[in-house]
Amino acid sequence: MSSSISTITDKTVECNLDASRYRRILVTVVAVVVGYLAFSVWMFDLPSVARKWSPERATMFMLDTYAHKDVVLMEWDRAGDIDVYFEAKIYEYERDPVWFSRSNADIGSRVEIENGSYFVLKGNTVELHGWPGLEAPLIFGRYADGRPRILGYENRRDALPDWIRWTENKIEVRPDLYTRLQVFGRKAEIHRYSLGWKYFWFDFSSPLADVSFFDAIGLMFSSDRVDPNQSNASLVLNEIWYNEIWFHMEIMVAMLETLLMALLGTFFAALFGLPLAFLAAQNITPFEAVRFSLRRLFDLLRGIDMLIWSLIFLRAFGPGLFTGAFAIAFTDTGTLGKLMSEAIENADSKQQEGIRSTGAQKSLQHRFGILPQIMPIFISQTLYYFESNVRGAVIIGAMGAGGIGLQFLGAMQTGSDFENVAYMAILVLLMVIFIDKMSARLRRVLIGLV
């Protein structure tokens, strides 16, 4: 009895010893990880996110993706001449929009904004009437030396609503997200945002600028020609295709270019990868030197990133299809070659032996003994790489290889056309999702597995 108890105790002690050692290792590892994380939080200055993040900029950015703005510009020196623009001076309206009524400097031109309030642009002042919460209209003008001011508030700025920011050279008025007034020493600007992507189908220079999409579809089948030289259908399609604000043609061509990059690149990778994989497989090629050098070649092709390959080819081919296609082909010849040579080595040798027993020569043994075994892997891997190469082509495209990536980066970095950025982002996402679905379906049809 006593002996059995002592055994149990001994075992317990042993277990405890083990557990404490395990615990010590665990604690050390956790301490190192936590230490590293803490150090990195400090090094990357993670808390500064809150400081760097400007909600105002983010809001503007978001707003610009789904809304467009019209700009009413008045220069104080020539106050009688007020210009109304679409977006940032892309296009000056020839006819005044319905919300703008022009008049002389004494009566003032009126800019209607939402909830019944309006701006009045007079010779020396801009007035905001009827905004909820305002007892009297706000009157913006200038001091004698030209700096902007708000009449009647010069000595009591605290009484202004909090959506007005008054600095030395600028007054910024933003009663809500969709309305903005900026008063400078030289000019006053009203920004009037409205929802939607304007001119998406037809740009302002088009004869169909004010026609809605569905009306245009109807127009395509009507017999009265808008332009006597051209049928309505071809006019409508032409105007959409050559839209100068949304660049449908350029974007579609760029998408096609990106897609072709991925397609050609993957195709050539598969074309060269498979035979090279056979040459690099132990059960096919008896020559050690050949195998060794091929494996190092695969490593080299794979080890040089797709980005670096694209930079190398960029010098030779310039931005465009070939740069991307070659970069993808080089990288993936390495990847597919390595992968397939491993698959070939893992293939069952019994089938090959069976073919050999019929007296077939070497090439036939490989063709009927090994190829059928690795074909499903080969097809599914090639399709997977095609999918990932479509994404990759967008990225190396942005780094200079051309296609939709470059267009996207360009639009992003100019920082003014966020609706175009959003449009392209949606197109790219749709393309990627579509390719994924198609390739999954193709895999199912070809090899019966997902």
Partner 1 sequence: MTTTTENSVDVYLERLHAQAKTRALYTVIFIGAIVFVITSGVIFSEEQNAGSLSRGLDQFWDFPTDLFSGAWAAGWDWFGLVGIYTPELFRTINLALFSTALGFICAVFLSLFASTNLISNGWVVSLTRRTLDVLRSFPELVIAIALLFLMGKGELPALIAIWLHTVGALGKLFSEAVENCDMKPVEGLQSAGAGWWQRVRFGVLPQVLPLFFSYGILRLEINVRASTILGFVGAGGIGEALKTNISWSYEPDIMAIMALLVITITTLDYLSTYVRNKLIGGIQL
Provide the binding-site residues for partner 1, judged by CB under 8 A.
33, 36-37, 40, 43-46, 48-49, 52-54, 57-58, 61, 253, 256-257, 260, 263-264, 267, 299-300, 302-305, 307-308, 311-313, 315-323, 325, 391, 394-395, 398-399, 402, 408-409, 412-413, 415, 425, 429, 432-433
Minimum distance of partner 1 from residue 358's CB (angstroms): 17
Minimum distance of partner 1 from residue 209's CB (angstroms): 29
Which one-letter DSSP state was computed for residue 173? Answer: E
Burial 47-77 (b: 16+ CB within 10 A, else e): eeeeeeeeeeeeeeeebbbebbbbbbbbebe
Minimum distance of partner 1 from residue 294's CB (angstroms): 16
Minimum distance of partner 1 from residue 285's CB (angstroms): 22
Question: CA-CA distance, 21 to 254, in Å (whole number)?
Answer: 60
Q: Contact 121/106 with Cβ under 8 angstroms?
A: no
Select 126 or 264, whichever has its Cβ closest to partner 1: 264
Question: CA-CA distance, 245 to 423, in Å (whole number)?
Answer: 12
Minimum distance of partner 1 from residue 35's CB (angstroms): 12
Minimum distance of partner 1 from residue 45's CB (angstroms): 7
148-150 and 164-166 strand pairing: unpaired
φ, ψ dihedrals at 155, nearest 5°: -105, 5
Select 114 or 250, whichever has its Cβ closest to partner 1: 250
Q: Contact 70/92 with Cβ under 8 angstroms?
A: no
Sole residue written with tokens 């994380």: 37
3-class SS of residue 231? coil
Beta bridge partners of 195: 67
Select 139 or 343, whichever has its Cβ closest to partner 1: 343
What does the block give as tokens for 17? 């010893």
Minimum distance of partner 1 from residue 329's CB (angstroms): 12
Select 19 or 256, whichever has its Cβ closest to partner 1: 256
Select 226 or 447, whichever has its Cβ closest to partner 1: 447
H helices within 167-227, ranges in order? Answer: 213-220
Select 320 or 337, whichever has its Cβ closest to partner 1: 320
Sign of the CA dihedral with 60 first, then 62, 65, and 70 last: negative
Q: Contact 190/71 with Cβ under 8 angstroms?
A: yes
Which one-letter DSSP state was computed for residue 77? Answer: G
Select 53 or 214, whichever has its Cβ closest to partner 1: 53
Minimum distance of partner 1 from residue 357's CB (angstroms): 22
Select 17 or 300, whichever has its Cβ closest to partner 1: 300
